[in-house]
Every structure is written in C-alpha cells, then in structure tokens.
Chain A
Amino acid sequence: MKYGYYPGCSLERNAIAYHQSAMAVAGPMGIEFDELDDWNCCGATEYISIDLLPAYALISRNLALAAQQELEGNGNQLVAPCSACFLNLKKADHYMAESPELSENVNSALAAGNLHYEPGTVSVRHLLDIVVDDVGFNAIAEKVTNPLYNLRIAPYYGCMIVRPGNMKSFDDQEYPTSLDELMSTLGAEVVDFPLKAHCCGGHMTQISESVALELIRRLLKNASDYDADMIVTVCPMCQLNLDAYQDAVNKKFGTNYNIPILYFTQMIGLAFGISPDDLGFGKEIVDAGPALAKIGAEPSPKAKEKRPSKEALPMPSMGEDG
C-alpha cells in the first residue's frame, strides 16, 4: 500500500520519535510512504485565528501539491501523523467542497503560485486510520514477535483525530476504540481510559499555562487512577504537553506523576521486535525505561471476572447495537 506522506513541522524535530517509528514500522506493515515534496506548515490552530483566507490558502498549497505530485499508486491519499495537521487538511478540503465561494477565493490565491486545487481530489487520512483500517488488526497480529504482555496502556486519542462532528470520522467521536483494539492486538493490557478523547490543553500551554496544566493534570491523574504504566498517543501536540509539562504539573499541584508518554507507532515497533533505538525511544522526557521493563514473557494471569454477588443487578448488555 502506497500513500502520500505529510509529516508536519512537529515531526521534523520535537516529534522526531514519531517520525522515526512510523518509518520503521511502515515496511513490516507493507506500507510505503512518499513524502510530499516541499510541503509547508498547516498553520496549526493559529493561522486560522488571525486570517481566514490566507490560512486556507496555506493549507491548500499542500493539497494542491499532493494532487499535482500524485505519486502513482497512492490513489491521492495523503497521510498525516499529526492530528492537528490531519484536521486542518481534511477540514480545508471539506469546507472548500461545501462552499464554492471559499474554494474560488482559495484557488485565485493559489493561482498566484500557479497552483490549483479541486476539492475532493485528495483524501486526507490519519496514520492511525490507515494502520487499523487498511493494514488491519489481523495483519498486525501476525507480525507481533514480542508481545507487550503485562504492560498497562492508557490509549489516548485527544480531540482532533475523531472530531468535529460535521465530518465523517473513522472512529466514534465521543468514545473511540480503534487504538484500544490496536494495543490489545500488540498484547498489552488496555485501560478503559475515560478521558481518552479529552483535551491535552493544545496551545493553552502558551496562552494560559495555569489552564493548560490543569487539563494535563486531569489526564495524568485519571491515567494513574487506572494504574496505567504509560499513555500512548497519536498526536505530537498531545505527546508534547503530557510529556514535557508533566514536571510542571507535579510542581504546581505537588503531585509526583511519572507516566511515560509514547507514540502508538513506537509500541507497534516494539511488538514487532524492532530495536528501541530505531523507534526513537529515549527522546521522551519522562523515561519509558522502567515501564518497558515490566513487559513480561507471559501474559499476566487474567484477573478473572469476579462474579457479581447474587444481590447485584444485571448490567445492561453492550451488544452490537450499543
């Protein structure tokens, strides 16, 4: 499977581990990435706050390039590992398709660079989406040589990968489960993490640190309340906030959280038996070493369903329809 690849600014430096691990696991999963030539920043959540049209033009340059460079075989599918980039690209395409006026303006701007973009030409997808939907759990299970037994993982999706509501999403927008399933496919114990799709604080770390630190604290607290050994993320911004600011949280709230924050691609690589160095381990600020040491050769004995007392009322069935 061949895809266009849009790393996004973060993956060049701060999230280099994400980039490395994504590249490392691509091969084994039968994925081929074609990095978009001369891509530019998506504007994150900032550009759109200042100026609408330039913001959309900025994003659309990438879409236009992707459509132009249509690397044969990638079926004009552009993969973004960063949730913010993913949302920006997807949303620009969506809104241009919805509003001919917007599309027209954006295109007359692009024309200044001899570019043009026809909404709908490029289908923008998140890295997690192609891993779970195109590669699939079975194919991944087959490749697992070093299952992540005994490791309690809190899967963390953040916001922008499954929202907003006015666009089709590849997973539930309130309570996604694809990453959960992926992690248990790798042999890990998955924590049913209530805040899995809540906010990491985004850029609030810059605008109002106190607000941001509270949001980060909630996630760390909840994860440790559920005795997670680590939090696994799908977005550089989430990783950065939870990892780099964990120290600040501890200082501010007098806590002593020590939860490593890793990328899902790093975990896949680990389970595939790829050397940690090739997966960017060690780049995380909260050392993942101790947690990884917990990985056992045997799956931890299933804490067997303690049968409810005979007084207990039955729980609602969560059938398919649920």
Chain B
Amino acid sequence: MATTIASARAPTFFDEVVAATPGTDPHLELCLQCGTCGGSCPSGPDMEHTPRALFAMIDAGMKDQVLSSNTPWYCVACYYCMVRCPQEIHITDIMYTLKRMAIKEGLYRESSASDASGFSETFIDYVENYGRSFELGVATRYHLRHHPLNAVKMATGMGFNMFLKGRMDLTPTRIKNLDQLKAILSKAKELGGSS
C-alpha cells in the first residue's frame, strides 16, 4: 500500500510541537532555513536564538535547549515572520506552542526570560476571577511580585500619570455570569487543555 512509514515510529519532539499547534498543519517541516523570520523579527537582536535557529534545533530534537530559550518569550506576536515566510510556516503560533511546552516542562525557568510567564499568569488570574482584565493592574501586581523596584517606579512614574488621567483602575469590572465562564474554563482545562 502506498503509505509512509512515518506513522510507525515514536513521535519526536518535532512531532510534539506540530501536534500542539492549533489550526491546520503549521508546515514546520518546510523550513528552508532562509532566515526571513530572524531578519524580520523586531526583538530578534535580543533573542538567544533566532526563530530559524530554533526550528533547526527542534528538528535536531534539542528539546531542553529549545524550551529553555528566551526566544518564544521575546516574541511580540507582530506576525511579520508569518506573513513573509516563503514557506508559509505558522511561526507565531509555533512560538506560542513553545511557551506552553516550556511552562509544562518547567523549563522556562532556565531561560533569561524566566519570569516572563509570570506576567501571563498574573494576567490570567485576573481573567479567571473577574472575567476581565486591564494591562495596568496586571502590570503593577506582576511587578510587585517579580520586580518590586519597577512597581515603585510604575506607581510613581508612568503609572501615576495614568492614574491622574483616570486611565488606571485598581480592580477590573467583574462580569455578571462569572460562574458560567469558570465552568467553561475548568471544563477546558479538564479536557487536557495544557497542550
């Protein structure tokens, strides 16, 4: 029968990444190593590995190095790489996938962006307990937790200005049907969301 033997072998790290990325096939296998992504990336200069390099590492099965790289955390989701990729690889989506995997494997702590996920987590706390969020409250609380000094800076500097302008709240509004949202979210988690 005209079938490939791929199905036979155990899933590699590469396969895991592809499987954990939503939508249709992210085409990771098509990477030409041309560097358009690394060249386009606004925060590229600050990444430990360019996306291109990361893809080569994924193919090489360097799971730990990939998941402890700061690259996914420095992705600003501007999608330039995705628009320009000559092979139409869903690069940004893959970056999100790598963040999730890094958290799951606890490897993000290795990365120089170790507390990056902290911001996301703080953010989520708000969302899960209020149904809504707002950058500044998140920011302050996140900074209080991770870099208190910044928090002070914020409270006095920029944050203070925002407050004066009436653009800063201390708690977000809570949605009416919070229970419904909670039910949905816990069901989603139970459905093995963490992948």
Contacts and interface: CB of A to CB of B under 8 A. Distances in A.
A–B contact with Cβ pairs below 8 Å: the answer is yes
Nearest to B20: A52
B126 to A, nearest CB: 8
B119 to A, nearest CB: 5
Contact of B96 (A48, A61, A173, A244): A48
Interface stretch (A207-215, A290-298, A311-319): A207-215
B194 A51 contact: yes
Contacts of A106: 188
B134 A199 contact: no
A257 to B, nearest CB: 15
A118 B111 CA distance: 39
A57 B176 contact: no
A39 B175 contact: yes
Contacts, number: 233
Interface residues of B, number: 75
Contacts of B85: 165
Given A13-B134, A165-B83, A202 B78 contact: yes
B113 A61 contact: no
B107 interface: no
A198 B78 contact: yes
A141 interface: no
B42 A198 contact: yes
Contact of A53 (B43, B84, B183, B189): B189
B82 A247 contact: no
Interface in A277-295: 282-285
Contacts of A284: 165
B74 A204 contact: yes
Interface string A99-140: 100100110111111110000000000000000000000000
B76 A14 contact: no
Interface residues of A, number: 75
Interface string B120-160: 11011011000111111011001100000010000001100
B13 interface: no
A204 B167 CA distance: 20
B11 interface: no
A40 B78 contact: no
Nearest to B98: A49
Given A57-B185, A99-B23, A109-B188, A50 B117 contact: yes
Contact of B184 (A57, A174, A203): A57
A248 B157 contact: yes
B166 A16 contact: yes
Given A14-B162, A41-B132, A52-B195, A160 B79 contact: yes
A12 interface: yes
A49 B99 contact: yes
Given A48-B96, A113-B184, A159 B80 contact: yes
A98 B80 CA distance: 22
Contacts of A52: 20, 22, 96-97, 100, 193-195
A98 B24 contact: yes
Nearest to B186: A112
Contact of B142 (A45, A105, A108, A206): A206
B80 A46 contact: no
B39 interface: no
A240 B126 CA distance: 20
A56 B97 CA distance: 13
Interface of A: 9-10, 12-16, 38-41, 43-58, 61, 94-95, 98-99, 102, 105-106, 108-115, 159-160, 163-166, 173-174, 198-199, 201-211, 215, 237, 240, 244-245, 247-248, 282-285
Given A113-B184, A198-B78, A207-B73, 6 more contacts: A51-B188, A54-B185, A98-B23, A109-B185, A109-B187, A208-B74
21 contacts: A13-B166, A14-B136, A38-B176, A40-B181, A45-B77, A49-B117, A52-B195, A95-B23, A99-B24, A106-B188, A112-B187, A160-B77, A164-B79, A164-B83, A165-B85, A173-B83, A198-B42, A201-B42, A208-B116, A247-B157, A285-B165
